Amino acid sequence: MDDCLFCKIFKGEIPSTKVYEDENVIGFQDLYPQAKIHLLFIHKEHSKNVNEMMGNDPKQVADVFSAIKNYSEKEGLEKDGGFRVVTNLGSLAGQTVFHTHFHVLSGEQLGRFGS
- Active-site residues, by number, are 101
By a kind-dependent CB cut-off of 5 to 8 A, residue 32 interacts, out of Zn ion, ligand AMP, none, with ligand AMP
User: Judged by CB under 6 A, which stretch of 25-33, 52-60, 62-70, 72-80 contacts ligand AMP?
Assistant: 25-33
- Helix residue spans in 1-115 (DSSP H): 5-10, 50-56, 58-74
CB of 66 to ligand AMP, least distance (A): 21
- Kindly tell me which residue out of 96, 113, 114, 115 binds ligand AMP, with binding defined by CB under 6 A: 96
Using CB under 6 A as the binding rule, whether residue 7 contacts ligand AMP is answered as no
Q: Which residue is nearest to Zn ion (CB)?
A: 4
Contact in structure between 104 and 68 (CB atoms under 8 Å): yes
What is the C-alpha separation between 109 and 50, in angstroms, rounded? 26
HSE of 106, CA atoms in CB hemisphere, 13 A: 18
**Which residues of this protein are in contact with ligand AMP, per CB under 6 A?**
5, 14, 16, 30-32, 40, 88, 94-97
